Structures are given as structure tokens and as C-alpha cells.
Amino acid sequence: MDLLIQTLINGLILGAGYALVAVGLTVIFGTLHIVNFAHGAFFALGAYATLLIERAGAPYLLAIPLAVLCVAAIGFALEATIVRRALYDQGEHGSIIVTFAISQAIVAAIILVVGPDPLPVPSPFGQTAVSVGGFFLSAQRIFIAAASVAVLAGFALWLRRSVKGQQILAVSQNARGALYSGINVPLIRSLSFLLGIAAAGLAGALMGPMISAFPTMGDANVIVAFTVVILGGLGSIGGAMLGALVIGLGNALFETYVSVSWTPALGWVLVILVLLLRPQGLMGRAQLDRH
Amino acid sequence: MKLRAKAALAALAVLVATPAAQAADPVKIGMVLPLTGPTAGYGKDGKLGADMAAAEINAAGGILDGREIELVYEDEKGAPQDGVAAVQKLMTRERVQAIIAGMNSSITLAESAITKNRILHVNPAAQADAITAQGSPWLFQINNTASTNATIFHTYLTEQMAPKAIAVMGENTEFNKAVLENLREIVGESSVELAEIATYDGATTDFTSIITRLKSTGADMIYVIDAYPARTAQIWKQIRQQGGFPMEAHAVGTVQRSAIVPAEGAMEGVITADIFIAEGATGDMARFIDRFTEQNGVAPNKVSLVVYEAVKVVAGAMDKAGSADDYALISDTLRGNVWTTPRGALSFDDNGRAKAPYFYIHKVTGEDVGLLDTFEVE
């Protein structure tokens, strides 16, 4: 029983981390129909920005928002110079090539500027583990889960309640219709891209202390994030959160009780099953229509 | 006048094509290293060693009557397909006379399929026995094989540390396979129990549940088999967060500062081993460490050392054989001689395997490893 409880705790906390990485991907796809292969590179930038800001003397908790701003600024520059010109209204195929190229350029730039070795991202939570009733909980993971839930809940609320949030949802459903209704579609697209990139940067800043900063640190995480957003439904924020929870719990239970070796396949098996039975994903279109 | 100019050009062309002119051409050695990707740190360390070796050889007058060594680098990016592409490019486009490639066993196996019977290939660091078990006549290995290293280390773990039960976790790779095979054999001959083996995929991003599962077996020793520095740091942080194990060990030859530093103290006290340690070095090794540190501003590690040795051994064998491309002769020369390196005398057996003279048991201390015990390799 203890093993099951510890496994469920592991899965829930893991899922919260996955959700944070996946939500940026799904926002960008939902609004812009861009499959962002550079998401992992922005994730890495978030961790490196946090590390460099901390080295400059800022504490970790202050470094996180500053790092998110830095990543958003880089995202803004790339959006204005490349993404806006090359990708909007150009279909999903072009986006794969362009964002992959951006990803490679960012990774190469990191190696050039900081070097290839993994670097520690200091956090006040460090390796501290909290033992509650015999169950181990990493302090950093609790912080990630709490931050993830707070940010995602706030973001979902902002989408529903604010004018700009409503406009993002309108553009994601029908960009032409939104334009005819007087919504500044180019501005909303830029805003959506920045929000997606900022989410990747935030995920990197939060997860950096756990996995260290290294140039390709986003690769494996973004693969999991893709399974999460496909499972939940491309473009659906609620779907990304549900998908992250399913994959997080599924992975933890499978690793503990079935097979460690086969766990990476589990996410893709779930994705195939969902696509066969419910092609729009768990909360794909239905969630978008409801808004 | 035009006729005279043409005649002069023709004479010049004949001169250029003569052996005397060719003798000044550099001997090109293809260096395949992970310069980007998850093990790029190894590539950086290896490049420092290779550059230092080439500079020393060229400063001493080169090889084969004054020909300089020219190193041509290609990036294998930590992936087999990129390793194969890098080797193919060096052989066909760069026309190199030898290949030095081998940091990761799975990648080296893929690369050796391309170099087999076509070019001299020296593997500096990859350990899996399968690499040199292929019977490739022109393939040589500087590092010990995984089974040689593992036999000494696993015997040390089972006899000196004597745990009741070992829980193992490692990435699903050729290196892991060789190490596990040896561990099963050594543990089978002892009273130690192999509690559980968890083999994970390279794409695994979290190890908490694996560690939870291993802890639930009640094993008193955790043994991690992973060669990727960032993942090694992450795994040990997560082991520490779950309270750790009474005894903790990490696979031979895979613990460098590039893993210890990002682990932020989580690897403190972990037992590992390697064919190199800077602590207490004397003689040629101490001089090598001093020269390296002076030139590069950082101390060498095992990767820098074995790549340095690979370049030196290749150049030395070509020079002694009197040829840069008669691979049968160069291979015979490599097998038939003893090669002086910072570690001492190296000789190659029929499979092209060298054996390190000494083997060191390490304990992670601070941001580096400290010496725990020394063995002479038989």
C-alpha cells in the first residue's frame, strides 16, 4: 500500500511538471497552428537564463520571473523577425522545418556562449526531501507542482475572463471570423506565441534545478510534452493538463508495477488508442467549442 | 614566350607530383567526437587531448620524415546515425588516413561497421566488448574492455563492500548490456543477491518511480550504469531526495567532474572506478597532467588522456611502420610493439585491445573523485 501511495504521489507531481511544458506547446498550436519544435530549446533557455541571473546575484525565486522575461524577449525577437514572416497562414509543414532550425540555432548558440557541460541551477530547495508519514517528497518537486497548478489555473482563468484571453480563444477557433469582428489578429498571434514561449521558459526555470542546465535538456522533455498534447487534444489547455496527469500517473504506475523498459512506449500506446477511438484527443474540439 | 611559360608550369606540375613534395603533405587523422548533444562535454575534453598530442608530435618534427599530423574533426552528436555519417564524410570527402572514434559503445559499434577492412580505426574510450569482438583486423581500443573493468570493479563491490542485495538501474545500451552480463556472473559466484535490474530508455525524463521501485526491494546497495553526465547528476539527485541507499556505486569510467558538479553534492561518497586518477600521479603521468593543465587551464580527465594516447599511438605506429596507409603493416606494428604512454606501457592483443597497467577504485569527494584503492591489471 505504501508503495502504491508513493507511486501515486510521484505520478501526480510528475504530471504537474509535464503540464507546464505541454501547455506552451498547445497554446501555440491552438492559436497559430504552428508545431513548435523549438519548444525544447526555449525550455533550455529558461534554465540557462535562471542560472545566469542567479550568478549575477539574484535569488532563485526572483531569477524565475526575470528568466521568463528574458526568454519572452528572445521569443519576441524571433517572432518579429522570422515566425511572423515565415509561418503565419503558411500551414503546419513549414512550421516544423522553421522551428526545428530555430531550435538547432538556439542549442548551437548555448554551446558557443556557455559550453556543452551540464551546469547546476541552484535552488533554495536543493536536494531537500520532505518525509510525510514515511513518504518522500522532493521540496523542489512540491514547488514545481504548486507553481504549475497556480500558473495553469491563473492562465485558464485569464483566458476565460479577460478580453485578451477571449480574443485568443476567438482567433484559435476562427482567425478570419475574429478579424471580421474587429480583433487585432496579428497582435493576438504575437501574444499567443509569446505566452507559449514564456511557458516553456518558466518550465525550464522551474525544472532546471532538478535536471541541470545543458544545451539539449529540452529534447526528451518536449517529446513527452508532444505525447501529452496529442493525448489531451492539440490546442486544448484543459486537454494538456488532463493528458499530463494521465501520462504522469500512467508512467509512474507502469514503471513501478509493470516494466521500466517499456514505459516510454506507454505514452505513445495511449496516444494511438486515443487517436483511434477519439481522434481529436481527450478534450480537443469539445473544449474549444465550449469557450 | 607563351610556350616557355607553359613549359615552366608543366615542370612545376611534375615537381609537385614527385614523392619529395608529397612527403611534406600532412597525415590527416579523422577525429569523430561528440561536439554537440548530451555528451558534448566528452567531445570538448577529448579535443583538448587530441590537439595537445598533435601539437607535441608536430613540434618534434612530425612523422614519416617530416610530415605533420593534421586532425580533422567531425561531430557525432551522441547518436549512431551521426557517427556513421561523420566517419563516411571523413573517409570519402576528407580522405583521412586513420579514424579515431569511440566515446559511446553503441555509436562506436555503428561506426566500426563502416571502417571495418577499409581504414585504421582506433577507439579511445568506448568499452563494450562487442566492439573488438568483431574480428576487425584494423580496429584497436585504448580503454580497457567493459568486462575487464567490470570484473575488477564488481569483485571489489561484492567482496570488499559486501552488500546483501544490489539493485541496479541503467540505460538500455550496449555498454550496459556488457556490464550487466559481467555483474550477473560475478554476483552468481558470491553470496550477494541481485535484487532488481531496472533498464530504462534514453528518453526517460524522470527516475523517481524507478528509484521508488528499487527501494521497495530492500536492497542495501544501488548500482547505477549510465554514461551521460547530465542524466547521471539527475539520477543521483533523485536517489538522494528519496533518502539514498546504505551503499552506492556508479559504473566504471563514467564519472567525471561534468557529472559530479551538476549533481550539487548528491554524488558525495559514491563508489566508482576508472583507469585514470590525477591524485598521487607520478612520473610520465604527473608530467602529462602538468603540461595539460598549463596549456589548457584545466586538469585532464580520463577522456582527455585516452584521446591523447590514441593520437600518439596512431602517429607512432605509422612512423614506425613507415607508412600512413598500409593498414595491415601499421596494425602488425601496433600489435608487435609496446607503446609508452602517460599511464605506462600499453600493448595490444590479437583483438586490438589494450590493457591499462593500473585500475583505480574511486570515491566521489567534493567536486572530484578521490583514490580509494589501486589494482594492477593482470
Interface of A with B in 135-174 (CB under 8 A): 136, 138, 140-141
At residue B15, the pLDDT reads 47
Residue B293: pLDDT band by 50, 70, 90 thresholds?
very high
At residue B22, the pLDDT reads 53
Question: Within 13 Å, how many C-alpha atoms sit on residue A63's CB side?
Answer: 25
- Which of A131, A212, A252 minimises the CB distance to B209? A252
Distance from the A288 Cα atom to the nearest Cα atom in chain B, whole angstroms: 30
- Same domain for B19 and B113, yes or no, is yes
At residue B63, the pLDDT reads 96
- Same domain for B127 and B34, yes or no, is yes
At residue B290, the pLDDT reads 96
Residue B3 lies in a domain: no
A123 — contact with chain B (CB < 8 Å)? no
- Same domain for B137 and B97, yes or no, is yes
- Spatial contact of B360 and B374, defined as CB atoms under 8 Å apart: yes
- Same domain for B127 and B188, yes or no, is no
Which value, in Å, is the radius of gyration of the alpha carbons in chain A? 19
DSSP structural state of residue B157: I
The bridge status of strand B221-225 relative to strand B247-250 is: parallel
pLDDT, chain B, mean: 91
How far is C-alpha A210 from the geometric centre of its chain's CA atoms?
A: 16
- Same domain for B210 and B327, yes or no, is no
Residues of B in contact with A253 (CB under 8 A): 209
* Entry pTM: 0.83
Residue B5 lies in a domain: no
- Which of A131, A220, A255 minimises the CB distance to B213? A255
Residue B324: pLDDT band by 50, 70, 90 thresholds?
very high
Domains parsed from chain A with CATH numbers? 2-290 (1.10.3470)
- Spatial contact of B161 and B361, defined as CB atoms under 8 Å apart: no
How would you label B271-299 residue by residue, b for 16+ Cβ within 10 Å and e otherwise? bbbbbbbbeebeeebeebbeebeeeeeee
Collapse the DSSP code of B83 into the 3-class scheme (helix H, G, I; strand E, B; otherwise coil) and give the result: helix
A117 — contact with chain B (CB < 8 Å)? yes
At residue A128, the pLDDT reads 81
- Same domain for B161 and B211, yes or no, is yes
CATH number of the domain residue B58 falls in: 3.40.50.2300
- Same domain for B269 and B195, yes or no, is yes
- Which of B208, B212, B237 minimises the CB distance to A127? B237
| Total domains present in chain B | 2
CB contact under 8 Å between A120 and B262, yes or no, is yes
Which residues on neighbouring strands pair with residue B120, listed in sequence order?
B98
pLDDT at B3 over 50: no
Distance from the B138 Cα atom to the nearest Cα atom in chain A, whole angstroms: 32
- Which of A128, A211, A260 minimises the CB distance to B210? A260
Distance from the B42 Cα atom to the nearest Cα atom in chain A, whole angstroms: 9
A220 — contact with chain B (CB < 8 Å)? yes
- Same domain for B46 and B122, yes or no, is yes
- Spatial contact of B38 and A113, defined as CB atoms under 8 Å apart: no
Nearest to A23 by CA among A166, A188, A229: A229
Distance from the A62 Cα atom to the nearest Cα atom in chain B, whole angstroms: 21
- Same domain for B314 and B227, yes or no, is no
Distance from the A118 Cα atom to the nearest Cα atom in chain B, whole angstroms: 6
**B184-189: average pLDDT:** 95
Residues of A in contact with B258 (CB under 8 A): 117-118
At residue A27, the pLDDT reads 87
- Residues spanned by the domain of B83: 10-144+282-347
Collapse the DSSP code of A247 into the 3-class scheme (helix H, G, I; strand E, B; otherwise coil) and give the result: helix
Q: How far apart are the first and last CA of chain A?
A: 41
- Same domain for B227 and B368, yes or no, is yes
**B205-215: average pLDDT:** 90
Collapse the DSSP code of B304 into the 3-class scheme (helix H, G, I; strand E, B; otherwise coil) and give the result: helix
**A152-173: average pLDDT:** 88
Residue B265 lies in a domain: yes
B134 — contact with chain A (CB < 8 Å)? no
CB contact under 8 Å between A117 and B44, yes or no, is yes
CB contact under 8 Å between B262 and A264, yes or no, is no
CA dist list (Å): A263 to A223, A257, B38, B119: 14, 11, 21, 40
> With pLDDT > 70 as the criterion, what percentage of chain B qualifies?
94
- Same domain for B250 and B104, yes or no, is no
